[in-house]
Amino acid sequence: DAGITQSPRHKVTETGTPVTLRCHQTENHRYMYWYRQDPGHGLRLIHYSYGVKDTDKGEVSDGYSVSRSKTEDFLLTLESATSSQTSVYFCAITPSGGGEQYFGPGTRLTVT
């Protein structure tokens, strides 16, 4: 499972509230990613990190922010959740510069 955990695994929140999702890895990989998965869209990159305090935007970054203060933790924050952010969120790591990418178990977020 590449030592990736996500918390919480399920969350229901109200529109307008802040939400933080956590991704934790145990193997000190440099690259970490946040994706969302929605029917008909596949996986879409929100943000990624290439080191502590080094992050960059993906294709669907609006409404999301991230932080990485330690190698092992990558946080995704929805500053003010909207119903369009209802989705399944996956964290991933890349152990090398190639094509391999390993995913966490996902967080199902519902914004009511």
The residues of the shown chain that bind another protein, judged by CB under 8 A, are: 31, 33, 40-45, 48, 50, 56, 58-59, 90, 92, 94, 97-106
Please give the Cα distance from 90 to 84 (Å, whole number): 16
- Which single residue is written with the structure tokens 């970054």? 61
Please give the Cα distance from 43 to 46 (Å, whole number): 9
53 vs 80, beta carbon nearer another protein: 53
98 vs 112, beta carbon nearer another protein: 98
The distance of closest approach from Cβ of residue 51 to another protein in the complex, given in angstroms and rounded to an integer, is 12
What tokens appear for 86 in the block?
A: 């209802």
The distance of closest approach from Cβ of residue 104 to another protein in the complex, given in angstroms and rounded to an integer, is 6
**Three-state secondary structure call for residue 64:** strand
